Chain A
Amino acid sequence: MTSLENLTSTRISLRNTETTLVVVAVVGVVALTISSHGAMLSGNSIQATLAYLATPILIGLAQMVALSVGQMNLSVGALGGFVAVAAGSAMVSLGVPAWLAVIGSVALGALGGAINGALVVFTRINGFIVTLATMTILTGLQYEVVGTETISNYSSGLRQIGAAAILHIPVVLLVALAVAALLALFMRRSLPGRRLLASGGNPLAAKLSGISNDRSVVFAHCLSGLIIGVAAVVTLASAPGVNQSIGGDWLLSSFAAPIIGGVALSGGSVSVTGTVLAALIIRLVDVARAQFSLDPNWINFVIGAVVLGTVVLAHRRQTGKTGSPRATRRGATTG
């Protein structure tokens, strides 16, 4: 399968994936509304459902950016947790004003990402391993900052923003959607965004057309870190407090949204809409779980089954179109 065929077929299946996701989401909402006798669509219920959607969208997008150049970022959770506790303790013990802490969080996230990228480029070690190492380091740093305490008495203004809602739509979700919109615009229209995709799609071709792949890798990691910084701010604003456990469960779910959303792990294609929709569907599964008061463990099981089903189906469709089934594929981190 040549890369050109690959690209076009991915684009077709992407569109399909997004349509499928919209249908699944609509069916899910309707089913939940009927089974809850309309309570699902009440204002408070909508707000509760959507408030917990902001972080999954953001971490999914952060992972998506790394995937766009064919990299993986295993340090999403550790970086997010570290930034959140660092900003929290800066506000409490150093008296840093909230606006500065917000800017600082985003900058710190971007810096962390840039370090990841620089390490990948300068050492030529596989990105998987580099971010595994930085994840371990950042988890240690997070513990170093916060210990076993929970920081909760920081800026009340930030808290109010976190709890605020416009027409029952939480402000934090609007922030996440704004990030998604900007990212989509960036990837589709801007020169640096197209360069990222070119590097991810075919590094050799990108190099021959004068694009620095190294710069793309650093830039993608930096952008990924920046979005994680925003996710940390959202967590600070909406969570009851930040402690050592923040970010601990981000890693696996950060992959679930882009993969269900149809983002290619090998790089070169992204789907912001797909990632956002997938995060919504995962949230709906959680709501359904709560509504039928099922064991929380069902959600992991369902996510696993859905991811597996999605990728197998998408692949079937793709190979069915091009008519060239491939017996084997190299591991994700190859090359």
Chain B
Amino acid sequence: MTMLADSPNQSAPASGESSTFAKLFAKVFANQRTGLVLLIIVLVVIFGSLRSAFFNEQLVLFPMVQQIAMLTVVGLSQLAVLSIGHLNIAVGQMAAFGAMFMGMAYQVWHLPLYAGLLVGLLAGAAIGALTGLIIATSGVNSFVTTLAMNFALLGLVSLVYTQFTTMAAFTTKPDGMEQLRRYSLADVCVGQVCGSNAIPQIAIFAVLAMCLVGYLFSRARTGREMLFVGANPVAAELSGIPVRHRIIGAHALSGALAALAGFMLAVTSGSFTAGIGSEFMIPSFLGPVLGGTLLTGGAVAVFGTFLGIALTQIIKQGLTMIGASVQSLSISLGAILLVALSVDRIRQVVSERRAVRR
């Protein structure tokens, strides 16, 4: 489900082969998502057979799905700017910035749960839009701008926390937050049929975000224009696309999604602290890149981002249960990233050769 901008310099996956076998092969081979799904299934079977506790709904699957849901939103936040060929190094600090406003909304302004969430999302979108505005007007590279923004927010958020809180955390919990943390779909019943114990209710936010971002990039005009900007900014400008607005829009979306991820982390961990988002940067790239999003812009994979994050979390969980140490986890994650991308590269080379031969 990769969404490509239909620009001439983006070669579409090979199609129209003569033999059906080749067609099938090309289809499966050309789709990174198929490989990810297969890998996930194989890993789940292996881990499940090694440790039957892997399928324990409340103790293993529930927290794991919570993590996957939160990190998927983090990945989508990065994906929003990757679509226009930009990077967002400040994704973690934007999450902290949004979460800070949510914490203040609950503790200082005594707002209800969803009103506070809205305040945080708006704050995230605003800081993202500001970043986009700086990039669009000054023409400075997105890496530098978001890096500087990361520094600035890192300082600002910590300063606000030390100013407004006694324990460096907003601990007020509005009604509904505790339920959101603990309840799963098993607590939602339609007649006699209840949902699974393994799916936390908070995962709904991730599903909503995926649907929204998926719709934006596959159907909505704005999203398609963002992909065009990513594929070829000059051509986009010449075709009358408001490039500046699309850049600001993509960064605002990234900021809002980061804030949503910050909210999800705060709900699962129970408090709003300055440390929210400090671990977001690496997963934010892992998900989209493993899923098939191009770093150069013009192609995004929304469902692939979810699969990429799910794969990394399943490996993490599985290795922990087998008894692997923390350090081997990060070693294996790095190795997976390299291997997955090398395979992708081989795939690309093979399909290029076939295209030449044809």
Contacts and interface: CB of A to CB of B under 8 A. Distances in A.
A303 B151 contact: yes
B155 interface: yes
A300 B149 CA distance: 10
Contacts of A311: 138, 140-141, 144-145, 148
B148 A307 contact: yes
B288 to A, nearest CB: 11
B44 interface: no
A252 B337 CA distance: 22
Contacts of A72: 143
A308 B153 contact: no
A129 B289 CA distance: 9
B158 interface: yes
Nearest to A307: B148
Contacts of B141: 265-266, 311, 329, 331-332
Nearest to B348: A124
Chief secondary structure at chain B's binding surface:
helix
A329 B154 contact: no
Given A136-B330, A141-B331, A143-B327, A126 B282 contact: no
Contacts of A297: 154-156, 158-159, 162
B342 A125 contact: yes
B139 A319 contact: yes
A225 B159 CA distance: 35
Which of B140, B234, B337 lies at the interface centre, i.e. has the most chain A CB atoms within 10 A of its CB? B140
Interface in B201-255: 229, 233-234, 237, 243-244, 247
Contacts, number: 186
Interface in B40-57: none
Given A265-B141, A315-B139, A333-B143, A304 B341 contact: no
A136 B153 CA distance: 24
Given A300-B154, A304-B148, A333-B87, A140 B327 contact: yes
Contacts of A124: 345
B21 to A, nearest CB: 29
A328 B229 contact: yes
A98 interface: no
Nearest to B87: A331
A332 B145 CA distance: 11
B337 A129 contact: yes
Contacts of A308: 134, 145, 148-149, 152
Contacts of A58: none
Contact of B334 (A135, A144, A259, A327): A135
B76 interface: no
A328 B143 contact: no
Nearest to B343: A123
A144 B341 CA distance: 25
Contacts of B341: 123, 125, 129, 133
B326 A125 contact: no
A266 to B, nearest CB: 8
Contacts of B237: 327-328
A132 interface: yes
A330 B84 CA distance: 8
A321 interface: no
Interface in B105-151: 134, 136, 138-145, 147-151
Nearest to A302: B155
A98 to B, nearest CB: 27
B86 interface: yes
Contacts of A333: 87, 143, 295-296
Contacts of B85: 330-331, 334
A161 B155 CA distance: 34
A19 B329 CA distance: 47
A140 B151 contact: no
A259 B144 contact: yes
B306 interface: no
A268 to B, nearest CB: 14
B139 A326 contact: yes
A255 interface: yes
A126 B139 contact: no
Contacts of B285: 129, 132
Interface in B142-182: 142-145, 147-156, 158-159, 162
A169 interface: no
A100 interface: no
B335 interface: yes
6 contacts: A123-B341, A295-B158, A297-B156, A301-B151, A304-B153, A307-B147
Interface of A: 72, 119, 123-126, 128-130, 132-144, 252, 255-256, 259, 265-266, 295, 297-305, 307-308, 311-312, 315-316, 319, 325-335
Given A129-B337, A311-B148, 7 more contacts: A119-B338, A133-B341, A255-B147, A307-B147, A311-B138, A330-B85, A333-B295
> 4 nearest interchain CB pairs?
A301-B155, A304-B152, A304-B151, A300-B155
